[in-house]
Amino acid sequence: MNFQFNLFNDVVETARKEMVEAGYTQLFKPEDVEEAFRKEGTTLVMINSVCGCAGGIARPSASYSVKQDVRPDHLVTVFAGQDKEATETARSYFTGYPPSSPSFALLKDGEIQMMVERHEIEGHEPMEVVNKLRSAFETYCK
């Protein structure tokens, strides 16, 4: 039993590390979210998750999508199921969208512009998700 718990923690830490290495700032507390979402400009929020199917597509998509000139000003991530209060606070900004993880939200000056929900990630190719994100960047991040 202890082995399984340690294995889960290792998976979570690996998922967190992937996002940090891709240039995303982790938001652990509601105050972190509020501060990040008050910043001017565009902010891409990645709702991280250990879900094997969708998470294994979302994290590489999060990393690859921002490797271009037109991209959000700020990259942040909250971890669903781990940083529950921070995730709840982030989701309070995503009006009109049900909770979904993993997922992406693009904010402009703290206002939701678009969302890529789990059903648009799971079962799709990573480049489909990357292209959806990049299309949003072209629309909102100029």
Considering the entire predicted model, what is its pTM?
Answer: 0.92
Q: By the 8 A CB rule, do 53 and 125 touch?
A: no
Q: Which residue has the tokens 């199917």?
A: 53
Instruction: List Cβ neighbours of 45 (8 Å cut-off, separation of 6 or more).
Output: 76, 77, 78, 90, 104, 105, 106, 107
Query: Has 141 been annotated as catalytic?
Result: no
Q: pLDDT tens digit string along 64-82?
A: 999 999 999 999 999 998 9
Token code pair at residue 74 = 């700020």
Q: In what order do the strands lie in the sheet with 74-79?
A: 25-26, 74-79, 42-48, 103-108, 111-116
Q: pLDDT tens digit string along 5-62?
A: 565 578 888 889 999 999 999 999 999 999 999 999 999 999 998 876 688 899 999 9
Annotated active-site residue in 27, 44, 45, 51:
51
Annotated active-site residue in 28, 53, 67, 138:
53
* Superfamily of 3-141 according to CATH: Glutaredoxin (3.40.30.10)
